[in-house]
Amino acid sequence: MTAAITQFFLGLYDTIGATGFGVISGLITLALCLLIIPKTTDLMVDSAAGLTGKYLGHEKRTMVINASTNLPEFFSMVVAFFMLRVGGIANPLGSNFANIYLMFLVAPVWVLGVWLVRGRKEKVAVLLGLIRKEKSIVLWHFIAGLLLFMVATLALWCATGVDQLHVFGGDRKGGLSAGWMLTGGLLCLAAVLVFLRFERGIRARRPELFREITSDGQEPSWAGFVFGTAGLIIACTVMNALFVSWEGVYGSFLRNLLGASVFTGLQYFLGALVTSLPEMTVATRNFRRMTSPDLNTALGSASYSNMSNMAVAAIGGIAAWVMWMFGCRLVP
């Protein structure tokens, strides 16, 4: 399916030229970014949270909400793997970078800025007071999210050989190998286990943060969960096809911006940004609610989501190793 969509895009380029193709593919990207992926993710997340509250208990919803928002990263990676592109693992690992600036900077500044423009200074004061009151929770989420991002940077270098942020002195020599892919996957798995070990302490000390989050709009719906998930898979397939077509059409230009592995770079920066916008929606929604449990959920859009991204990347690294051992010659 992805190959067919890619051929469609390349045929479109041959028909209307570089400028027209750039405009149309840009509009498709905006639709995926601002409408399709956020809306289908919202439907899936709210349905999953409602089902969790119904069957597993309300205290499980924080984990499920923030883990569910990582399904776009998972599906994007899986679609890429079907294309034999190990660079797909850059989507969940790059989302750890996107989550840092989106959830700790863009989301709160956006919420506070909107309130200031609307003259709602009392809400600004309440939220800032809540952040000061819950500074230990804020610090926990920030440190956890930042450390997971740092491990993700190393895991990307291991699994793909790509030094996307130029912290290791350049791409790893020697290219892809089974051992390095497995190392990247195991690094991610270790990070998940360490995070969960420390997270249990927070849950034990502050159980109300996980039990009393607002449940508005979280209707238990299997149909909503299935429809939202199907929409995400289709959207991620289109996005990956776009990236491959851009690699073919604009390869020389993109290599100057992103390095030798264009597909990996597109996944790390643009794909990760697109698939992280649902987390930003969750964060802004919960910042506006101005309660300690909802603040915890908002900040968890970075830390818990980064942990979930590491779980996705762990699956990806191990799956890539298995594929390589069975003779599938992956490319970045």
Half-sphere exposure of 288 (CA within 13 A, CB side): 15
DSSP state of 87: G
Q: Does pLDDT of 59 surpass 90?
A: no
Judge if pTM exceeds 0.75: yes
Tokens of 3: 């190959």
Domain borders along the chain are 2-325
Alpha-carbon torsion (61, 66, 70, 72), positive or negative: positive
Instruction: List C-alpha distances in Å: 51 to 74, 91, 220, 240.
Output: 20, 27, 4, 30
Strand boundaries in 219-332, DSSP class E: none
Which residues, 6+ apart, have CB-to-CB distance to 150 below 8 Å?
Answer: none
Which residues, 6+ apart, have CB-to-CB distance to 276 below 8 Å?
Answer: 73, 95, 98, 99, 102, 305
- Per-residue pLDDT tens over the stretch 181-196: 999 999 999 999 999 9
Tokens of 29: 């990207």
- Per-residue pLDDT tens over the stretch 220-234: 788 888 898 888 888
